[in-house]
Amino acid sequence: MEVQIEDPILITRYIAGDERALEALIDRHNQRISSFIYSKVNDRGITEDIFQDTFIKVIRTLKRGAYNEEGKFLPWVMRIAHNLIIDHFRKNRRMPMYQGSDSFNIFSVMGDDKLNIESQIIKDQIDTDLTFLIDELPADQREVLIMRIYKDMSFKEISENTGVSINTALGRMRYALINLRKVISENDIILTN
Query: What is the DSSP code string of 139-170?
Result: HHHHHHHIIIIIS---HHHHHHHHTS-HHHHH
Q: Fold match between 7-91 and 112-186?
A: no
At residue 151, what are phi and psi to the nearest 5 degrees? -105, 0
Domain boundary assignment for the chain = 7-91, 112-186
Picking from 106, 101, 102, 181, the residue whose alpha carbon sits closest to that of residue 141 is 181
Query: Percent of the chain scored above 90 by pLDDT?
Result: 20
How many CA atoms lie less than 13 Å away from 158 in the CB half-sphere? 25
Check pLDDT > 80 for residue 153.
yes
pTM for the full model?
0.49
| Mean pLDDT, the chain, whole residue set | 81
CB 18 within 8 A of CB 5: no
CATH code: domain 7-91 is: 1.10.1740.10
Higher-scoring residue by pLDDT: 38, 104: 38
Q: For residue 146, what pLDDT is reported?
A: 87
Residue 88's CB is within 10 A of a number of other CB atoms, namely 19
Residue 104 is predicted with a pLDDT of 54
Give the CATH number of domain 112-186.
Answer: 1.10.10.10
DSSP 50-105: HHHHHHHHHHHHHHHT----SS-HHHHHHHHHHHHHHHHHHHT---------SS--
Lowest-pLDDT range of 90-104, 135-149, 166-180: 90-104
Q: How far is CA 97 from CA 16, 90, 92, 93, 137, in A?
A: 52, 18, 14, 12, 44
Q: Which amino acid would we find at residue 64?
A: R
